[in-house]
Amino acid sequence: MRVLITGGSGFIGSPLTEALVSKGNEVLIYDAFPNAHSLKNDVIDKIELVKGDVNSWTDLYDAVKRFSPDAIIHLAAFISQHAEQHPLQAIELNVGGTITVLEIAKKLGVSKVILPSTVATFNSSVAAPISDDAVQRPTTVYGITKVFCELWGTYSHDKYGVDFRAVRLPSVIGPGRTNGGASVYASLMIEMPARGLAYEIHAAPESSIPLLYIQDAVRAVVALLEAKHSPKTVYNASGIAPKASEIASEVKKQIPQADVKFKPDAGVVQMLKQWQQMDSASFEKDIGWSISFPLEKLVADFIGVIRKMNSSANQENAILLEEARAGPH
């Protein structure tokens, strides 16, 4: 399969690209800030990397026409924290970019358009676990833009026959996640101790939000892409919902010397109450996906990845130091 990924150099895009390449797919990353360093060395030579803005009709049209993908995975978007700080930019990129992608897909006959959406399209007033078809009344700019994207994709599916598919993800955590606002604590309270650093947690010990490990999030997107038929245009993918104290306990179990301390911030604690667990029964039944990383396995894999990264960095530094000592040849 030939797959074009918008925003493919980011937190989800890089491991998604690697997963698709490992399955024999041809991939073109179309990104405003293409970053080859975010990809493994054995993947870089197997993909095409193009610098481009999803709101540039001509540039994206030319890339899609030339590459002739079987599917577009549309990741390019401003996420929650940046969207709140720059709402008009978020509307331009998140909404405008999605319209551009879907219009070009329609005109050029791209078979599928896949959109990762978010639990932020709901709010805390909806009873958990939240169903696929629950009322959406988001209270954030990011959530508002994603509701529009879901609706416009469904409209394009119903009126023009575009095979649009979306999956709502909870907060995705994993190595390298450094942004995203309040929910980033769940990543950093694992990553920082794995790097041998202290971390102050601004969530409360009892704070609990739905979380999905990056590998499970990637598997959800790939499963939706590969499904022969998608009975619904939009699905929920639930995660795990451990308390912050439970994550801390698991980290300390695997890294006894971990220095993580709670210093709750009232604003952060209140914001975290907005996210609730979703019901992914339909996604699991129709698409055949399920979680592979419960908390213990998630923390262990996360720590292992960071330690491997640290080891590689130390080896590279040692080589550079040795070369510097040897002097010029």
For 211-251, the pLDDT digits (tens) are 999 999 999 999 999 999 999 999 999 999 999 999 999 99
The alpha helices in 241-294, defined as continuous H runs, are: 244-254, 266-272, 281-287
Is the backbone peptide bond immediately before 129 cis, with ω within 30 degrees of 0? Answer: yes
Burial annotation 99-114 (CB, 10 A radius, 16+ → b, else e): bbbbbbbbeeebebbb
Residues 53/59, Cβ–Cβ less than 8 Å: yes
Tokens of 133: 């078809």
pLDDT > 70? residue 314: no
With CA atoms as reference, report the closest residue to 179 among 246, 83, 115, 307.
Answer: 83
- pLDDT at position 109: 97
pLDDT > 90? residue 313: no
Q: Which positions ≥6 away from 58 have C-beta within 8 Å?
A: none
pLDDT > 60? residue 316: no
Structural domains in the chain, sorted by start:
77-311 (3.40.50.720)
pLDDT > 60? residue 318: no
pLDDT > 60? residue 293: yes
- pLDDT at position 82: 85
Tokens of 254: 């695997």
% of residues, the chain, pLDDT over 90: 80
For the entire predicted model, the pTM comes to 0.92
- Average pLDDT of every residue of the chain: 92
First-residue to last-residue Cα distance in the chain: 47
- State the average pLDDT over residues 80-91: 90
Higher pLDDT among residues 87 and 309, named by residue: 87
- pLDDT at position 275: 86
Residues 215/293, Cβ–Cβ less than 8 Å: yes
146-158 pLDDT tens trace: 999 999 999 999 9
- pLDDT at position 180: 62
Between CA 135 and CA 76 the distance in angstroms is 25
Residues 78/112, Cβ–Cβ less than 8 Å: no
Q: What are phi and psi of 131, to 5 degrees?
A: -80, 165
pLDDT > 60? residue 125: yes
- pLDDT at position 325: 36
Ranked by mean pLDDT, the top range of 57-66, 123-132, 180-189 is 57-66
pLDDT > 80? residue 311: no
87-121 pLDDT tens trace: 999 999 999 999 999 999 999 999 999 999 999 99
**Beta strand extents in 202-326 (DSSP E only):** 211-213, 234-236, 260-262
Q: Which positions ≥6 away from 170 have C-beta within 8 Å?
A: 119, 209, 210, 211, 212, 237, 238, 239, 275, 277, 278
Residues 205/244, Cβ–Cβ less than 8 Å: yes
7-54 pLDDT tens trace: 999 899 999 999 999 999 999 999 999 888 888 888 988 999 999 999
Confidence of residue 326 (pLDDT cuts 50, 70, 90): very low
- pLDDT at position 179: 67
SS3 110: coil
pLDDT > 70? residue 266: yes
